[in-house]
Chains A and B, each alone.
Chain A
Amino acid sequence: TQLLEQSPQFLSIQEGENLTVYCNSSSVFSSLQWYRQEPGEGPVLLVTVVTGGEVKKLKRLTFQFGDARKDSSLHITAAQTGDTGLYLCAGASPGGSYIPTFGRGTSLIVHP
C-alpha cells in the first residue's frame, strides 16, 4: 500500500505569514494532486503536477513536485483568512487503473 505523509498536521498562523506544507512518500507517483477542502464540502482540486521537478503557481500558491516524483510541497505566500481549510495531497500510482492515494491532510487556520 502506498502511503502519503503530510506535514504538518495542523497549522495556525496570522494573516500575512508565509507557510509550506509537505507531502512525502517512499513510492513514485505518476502524478500528484493538491486539493483544498472546506468544512461540510467535498475537496476541490487546486493543481495537478506530473513532471519531476515541476513548479506550478496559482496566484499566491506555489506547488512543487520532487525530482524523483515521490514528494511535493505547497507554499502559500502572504496567507489570507480565505486560505483556511484542509489541504490534501493525492498521488496516482504509475500504470494501469487510476487508484488515488490521499494523505491525511494539513488543517490550516489563518487568523485575521
Chain B
Amino acid sequence: DSGVTQTPKHLITATGQRVTLRCSPRSGDLSVYWYQQSLDQGLQFLIHYYNGEERAKGNILERFSAQQFPDLHSELNLSSLELGDSALYFCASSVVGRGDTQYFGPGTRLTVL
C-alpha cells in the first residue's frame, strides 16, 4: 500500500460524458501527478500540481483539467469523453515534486463505451 488513494477504482461511461477522478496523496506529500496509461501509448504524464498550484503540463488534452485543493487532494476532470480516452489513470504523490520518489496510487480504470 503506497498510501495514495484513488477513487473510483473502475468507471464505465458513455461517449460525450464527463467524469471526475479523485486522488488523495500520502500524508505530508505536497505534490500530485496525474498519468494516463494505455496499451498503445504506455504511461503518459498529464499534469503536476504542487501545494495547490499547477507546476507542469504534459500531454494533457484540452478536454481534461485538474486541480489540487487546499487539503491537497486532487481531481482530474475528463469531459466530452471519446472511446480513445479509455485507459488506466494513475495519480502519484511526492514530498516536493522535483524528481523525488513518487508513490503511485492503484489507479482508476476508465472504460468509455
A residues near B (Cβ < 8 Å) are 30-31, 40-45, 48, 88, 90, 92, 97-105
- Is B56 within 8 A of A99, CB to CB? yes
Does residue B64 face the partner (Cβ distance < 8 Å to A)?
Answer: no
Cα A101 to Cα B42 with chains together (Å): 10
Cα A104 to Cα B43 with chains together (Å): 7
Lowest 8 A-B CB distances belong to which pairs?
A42-B104, A97-B56, A104-B42, A102-B43, A99-B56, A98-B99, A92-B99, A42-B90
- Name A99's contact: one of B4, B48, B106 (CB within 8 Å): B48
Contacts of A41 in B (CB 8 A): 104, 106-107
B residues near A (Cβ < 8 Å) are 2, 4, 35, 42-45, 48, 55-56, 58, 90, 92, 97-99, 101-107
Contacts of A31 in B (CB 8 A): 99
Min distance, Cβ B101 to any Cβ of chain A, angstroms: 5
- Is A98 within 8 A of B98, CB to CB? yes
Give me 8 A-to-B residue pairs in the complex whose CB atoms sit less than 8 angstroms apart, sorted by A's number. Answer: A40-B106, A40-B107, A42-B2, A44-B2, A90-B43, A99-B45, A102-B42, A105-B43
Contacts of A105 in B (CB 8 A): 42-43
Min distance, Cβ B23 to any Cβ of chain A, angstroms: 11
- Is B106 within 8 A of A102, CB to CB? no
Total residue contacts A-B, CB cutoff 8 A: 53
- Is B42 within 8 A of A103, CB to CB? yes
- Is A98 within 8 A of B97, CB to CB? yes
Cα A27 to Cα B109 with chains together (Å): 32
Cα A100 to Cα B45 with chains together (Å): 7
- For the A-B complex with A43-B43, A43-B90, A105-B42 known, give 7 more contacts whose Cβ atoms are closer than 8 Å: A40-B106, A97-B56, A99-B45, A99-B58, A101-B45, A102-B42, A105-B43
Cα A43 to Cα B102 with chains together (Å): 9
Contacts of A44 in B (CB 8 A): 2, 104
- Is B48 within 8 A of A45, CB to CB? no
Contacts of A90 in B (CB 8 A): 43
